[in-house]
Amino acid sequence: MSLRDRLASLPLLRRAAFEADAPAPGALHVLMVCTGNICRSPTAEGVLREKLKQRGLERAVWVDSAGTHGYHTAEPPDSRAIRHAAARGYDIASLKARPVIARDFARFHWMLAMDEANLAWLQRKSPAPNALRIELLPLAGGLAEREVPDPYYGPDAGFEHVLDLVERACDGLLCRLVAEGLGRPQPLPASPGGR
């Protein structure tokens, strides 16, 4: 087994880090965050990736997702999330859950939370809360709704509602990113102690 294969199999490393379409130097880094990283945030990751690809911007923005808790580390997204996303043309089946780690606060320009509890958790854990953008995904995307509700304990209709909100939020977010100069090199957030 090659080193690349061994590294790709580690739970905290994702397939995306080893793909040929790796981000361009200076790409914007966006992290989608929910609680367990098996429903909402992988859905948002898949939707934003596909929308970027449709616009030819997949190398200008690197998208990942993580959870505030490691309940499901290395597991694929919930089968219902995979099924509903696939029905709309989003492939999230190969994603693997992981928790937010301290290094993420230095690697990402944006951390987009799915709900108020996730937002508060990120703000508490951030060593430099003003160095990067930590926002709610719906608000970052210009929606009136503040949260993407967790569909985990509900019926399948909840996964459809998540997709409706996430698609609209990602459309709005993409317009906002383009208006803010997407494509220009982005410096990574400064870490505490001056990196």
Which active-site residues does the annotation give?
34, 40, 150
Give dist(CA 68, CA 110) in Å, integer.
15
Give dist(CA 101, CA 44) in Å, integer.
19
Give dist(CA 66, CA 69) in Å, integer.
9
User: DSSP for 95-143?
Assistant: ----B--TTHHHH-SEEEESSHHHHHHHHHH-SSTTTSEEEEHHHHTT-
In the sheet with 28-34, reading across from the earlier edge strand, the strands are: 61-67, 28-34, 110-113, 133-136
